[in-house]
Amino acid sequence: MREGPVEQAKLKTWSALSGQRRKPSEYEAVAYDAHFLNDYAQPGKSGPALPSIGPDSFINRWYQKNLIESPLRHDDWLAFRDPEEVTYRRYNIIQEGQENYVAEILDRFSNEGHDTGLSAEWQTVLARLYTPSRFLHHTVQMASAYAATTTPASTISHCYAFQSADALRALSHVSYRTVELARCHGQAGFNEDERSHWETAPEWQGFRELMEKVLVTYEFGELFAALNLVAKPAIDEACLRQLGRAARRHDDSVLDLLSDAVLKDTARSRSWTQALVKFLGARDGNVPLLRGWIAKWEPLADQAIDAFCAGLPDGDRAAVAARQATRDFRAAMGL
Amino acid sequence: MTLLQRSDWYDVARDTNWTPSFVAEAELFPSDISDPFDMPKAAWAEYDEPYKVSYAEYVKVQREKDAGVYAVNTAAARTRFMEEAGQRWHSVLKLHFGAVCLAESSSQISEGRMARFGRAPGMRNMATFGLLDEIRHGQAQLYFAHESLRYSPQFNFAHKLLGTQEWGAIMTRSTLDDVFLGRDAVTTAIMLTFAFETGFTNMQFIGLAGDAAEAGDTSFSNLISSIQTDESRHAQIGAPLLKLMVKNGYKAEAQKAVDIGFWRTYRFFTLLTGTVIDYFMPLEKRTSSFKEFMEEWIVDQFERTLLDMGLDLPWYWDFFLEDINSFHHGMQIGWWLYRDTVWFDVPAGVSPAEREWLEAKYPGWNDSWGRLWDQIGENIRAGKTDLTVPKTLPVVCSFNNLPLVTTPGKSWDPQGQMLTYKGKKYYFQSHVEKWIFEQDPERYAAHQTLIDQFLAGKIQPPNYEGALNYMGLSPVERGKDAENYAWAFAGREPRKMAAE
């Protein structure tokens, strides 16, 4: 926010926040308007994003095209708040607890010889659909990290940053389990075939196509719709929830519980996603844009869900449930 | 416990590159924002981040660090300290928070760019932690500054400064825009993590943390030394990249990025750290001079790191070694004379005892910079403090926005420090600034310093008061002499003072 002189000799909070009636929370004091880039780079502003650098430099053209000219509009982008007010220190408190829980699961079931009890049929599913998912989570990590660089407000950027780190968390769990499974079942292709499955197995090509295309969607508005309203819900419903359910039915308690643990991160991501949709809804024209982008991306996501679930036992039911859940999530936001 | 070790699975977690087929590789990693040198995949495959950490370790360690930092900052203890700390220490904090809080916040964007567009998965993962780190640094420092608002509205500039047209803000933004917000992922890794963080944040954070501990500000000292532990992790994103660039035939490109990034960063920290260490810090609390810090952290360590990597010293190294003796002395006079254009009260730092210290650390100081302060002191003692405020804007470097200064008594080469580009004249602080400008004139030519904005008619009314308001400084926000001129009378008999 570009501010002029402030006359008050006593300030209880940042002058930029002193206009709001309520006392700012710690979250607001540390997260509000923390990127000076947004003084110039917001949808509808005149730019250039970085005025000290030539207007024709690639970076200014990039922000011009992908943020300043975004068709989404809002009168006060800085007014967006994460409903869960996740600050950095809160994030680590939450996630340290979550990771302690995960370590407990990994430790306990390893001591109990969990993996030796996995059936050959289920091992095949894991090698084909679970351990290659580190590539998928990494695409979410990358897309979310990019999204954090191209937002109109730091409060949105922070949400994306935590989402990116959450994806790195999921990918870490998968990598850990990949090695454990490979040690227990040397012949099942664990820690060998993941990249080839990701690049060629029919179950993965839908999600790979979806995420490669999301990764090259650089404009702020469409990226939000493609990633947080369509692709990520599809991934969470198919590759976490439905895969986790199948794991439960095949005595794979570790994957069942790990999936649930990661879905807690999903719930946090959905909470701010819903808040941002509501925030955008305050201005005419935004919701139709979101609907248009959803209509464009949904077929790819549906295709990805179907292809992935085809590899699951009872895959038809899983695909229907996953698709429906993505629609329920959007419908709850009026989308 | 039968948990795996991190080393058992770490390599799996950084084996995540794949060959895209639904989009072109060049769309997934556009050269302009990813790797403008288009280094081959085989070169990138050698990337190995030296500082390895897992997600679980990260959140655990960071949670513990924050617990320590915030616990020390108990309100009662801090209140007592701040009330007794004296204006000079408040000024150190105000300057630091103003320049640093939103700069760190904004470098989230640089880390995010490396996390997306780095071509090596290990680089992307480390930058993802870097992205979190920079949220921490922005938020923790904003928190401390926010808690300090009760002492002075000038602490508001921790949040406000980089949104204003205050000249230090323009300088800071133009440096950050060039060094790490406006660069591709590879150049960002070199300029931000290698030049800026490996070299200079060490000095700002460790040097200042030492001085803060001496000054008794335990919570600030803990805060910034804790921040530095993150910096020393994510600062290592650039080094392995530089190594592989040198090995694979991209030395010239790497060298140029280092040379540009280092110089811009040096100028920024001279202003921020040089003046604080040699002038703001109470004399009895000083641990080393700025020059000694520079010699330890930059000349020795950075020099060795550069050479170990197969890079050369920047071409201007001899000039740089000379410059660390003088430039920040000029900037200190600038802070002080133009004290109403900044957001903190400026300590002169030139009482008789301090001048002795300066002369000992910088032989010849009294005969050069000291002469200027002699005149200022005489004016103050004569009751003519109005003569110590210029009331006109200075000539500033078209590139780094700082007032053009030269050591008193030394020759100056204005011809070598200016050029005309597309009909406009540009004046530079030194031939190094000029060289950087010449590397990419279109990138820099449109930049407007405060003086350019004045000449363009943006400042109304077009006078000094108009400029102060344009910079976002109300009378309660503008800086004053931090000690109400007491330093000018130190060691003098009242009678003699009256006679003067």
Residue-wise pLDDT for A16-75, tens only, equals: 999 888 889 999 999 999 999 999 999 999 989 999 999 999 999 999 999 999 999 999
Contact B105, B138 (CB under 8 A): yes
Nearest-angstrom CA–CA distance, B365 and B377: 16
Nearest CA in chain B to A101: B56
3 state SS of B426? strand
Residues A46 and A105 in one domain: no
pLDDT confidence bin for A114, thresholds 50/70/90: very high
pLDDT score, position B291:
95
Residues A305 and A165 in one domain: yes
Nearest to A255 by CA among A124, A95, A104, A126: A126
Q: How close B1 gets to chain A, by Cα (Å)?
A: 6
Of B54, B116, B140, the CB nearest to A146: B116
% of chain A beyond a pLDDT of 90 = 96
B36 assigned to some structural domain = no
Residues A101 and A53 in one domain: no
B39 assigned to some structural domain = no
For residue B164, the chain A residues in CB contact (below 8 A) are 2-3
Residues A133 and A206 in one domain: yes
Q: How close B246 gets to chain A, by Cα (Å)?
A: 26
Q: Are the beta carbons of B19 and A149 separated by less than 8 Å?
A: no
Per-residue pLDDT of chain B (500 residues; tens, 9 = 90+): 589 999 999 999 999 999 999 999 999 999 999 999 999 999 999 999 989 999 999 999 999 999 988 876 666 567 778 888 889 999 999 999 999 999 999 999 999 999 999 999 999 999 999 999 999 999 999 999 999 999 999 999 999 999 999 999 999 999 999 999 999 999 999 999 998 888 788 777 777 888 888 888 888 888 888 888 888 888 889 999 999 999 999 999 999 999 999 999 999 999 999 999 999 999 998 889 999 989 988 888 888 999 999 999 999 999 999 999 999 999 999 999 999 999 999 999 999 999 999 999 999 999 999 999 999 999 999 999 999 988 888 889 999 899 888 888 777 777 778 999 999 999 999 999 999 999 999 999 999 999 999 999 999 999 999 999 999 999 999 999 999 999 999 888 654 544 43
Please report, for the domain that includes residue A199, its CATH number: 1.10.620.20
Q: Are the beta carbons of A216 and B23 separated by less than 8 Å?
A: yes
Residues A111 and A62 in one domain: no
Q: Are the beta carbons of A106 and B3 separated by less than 8 Å?
A: yes
B10 assigned to some structural domain = no
Q: How close A267 gets to chain B, by Cα (Å)?
A: 19
For chain A positions 201-230, those within 8 Å of chain B (CB to CB) are 208-209, 212-213, 215-216
Nearest-angstrom CA–CA distance, B70 and B72: 5
Residue A295: its H or E element:
helix A286-309
A11 assigned to some structural domain = no
pLDDT score, position A132:
98
B366 assigned to some structural domain = yes
For residue B3, the chain A residues in CB contact (below 8 A) are 103, 106-107, 110
| Number of domains making up chain B | 1
Of B108, B112, B149, the CB nearest to A11: B149
Kindly tell me the sign of the dihedral angle through the C-alpha atoms of B162, B234, B128, A158: negative
B27 assigned to some structural domain = no
Q: How close B275 gets to chain A, by Cα (Å)?
A: 25
A187, B57, B423 from A110: Cα distances, Å = 19, 20, 73
Residues A326 and A186 in one domain: yes
Residues A60 and A203 in one domain: no
Of A37, A176, A213, the CB nearest to B106: A37
**What angle do helix axes B251-269 and B167-176 make, rounded to 10 degrees?**
160
Please report, for the domain that includes residue B371, its CATH number: 1.10.620.20
Residue partners of A252: CB distance under 8 A and separation at least 6: A114, A118, A122, A126
pLDDT confidence bin for A253, thresholds 50/70/90: very high
For residue A93, the chain B residues in CB contact (below 8 A) are 63
Burial of A217 (0-12, 13-18, 19+ CB in 10 A): buried
Give φ, ψ of B425 to 5 degrees.
Answer: -90, 135
Per-residue pLDDT reduced to its tens digit, A268-306: 999 999 999 999 999 999 999 999 999 999 999 999 999
Among A50, A75, A100, the domain boundary falls at A75
pLDDT score, position A178:
98
Q: Are the beta carbons of B12 and A175 separated by less than 8 Å?
A: yes
| Cβ–Cβ pairs < 8 A, chains A and B | 272
Among A41, A75, A109, the domain boundary falls at A75
Nearest CA in chain A to B341: A5
B9 assigned to some structural domain = no
Residues A199 and A132 in one domain: yes
B11 assigned to some structural domain = no
A2 assigned to some structural domain = no
A119 assigned to some structural domain = yes
Q: Are the beta carbons of B2 and A135 separated by less than 8 Å?
A: no
Q: Note down the domain range covering B478.
A: 45-499
Task: For an interface test with B, give the residue of A45, A53, A114, A160 to mutate (most B CBs within 10 A).
Answer: A53
Which pairing describes strands B424-427 and B418-421: parallel, antiparallel, or unpaired?
antiparallel
A82 assigned to some structural domain = no
A253 close to B (CB below 8 A): no
| Number of domains making up chain A | 2
Residues A134 and A281 in one domain: yes
Nearest to B93 by CA among B152, B138, B36, B160: B152
Residues A135 and A57 in one domain: no
Among A11, A46, A75, the domain boundary falls at A75
Residue A92: its H or E element:
helix A88-111
Degrees, nearest 5: CA angle B131-B106-B334: 135
Q: Note down the domain range covering A264.
A: 88-331
Residue partners of B388: CB distance under 8 A and separation at least 6: B337, B376, B379, B380
B4 assigned to some structural domain = no
Residues A69 and A92 in one domain: no
Q: How close A332 gets to chain B, by Cα (Å)?
A: 30
Residues A48 and A186 in one domain: no
Nearest CA in chain A to B156: A14
Q: What is the mean pLDDT of residues A166-194?
A: 97
Nearest CA in chain A to B170: A52
Contact B53, B127 (CB under 8 A): no
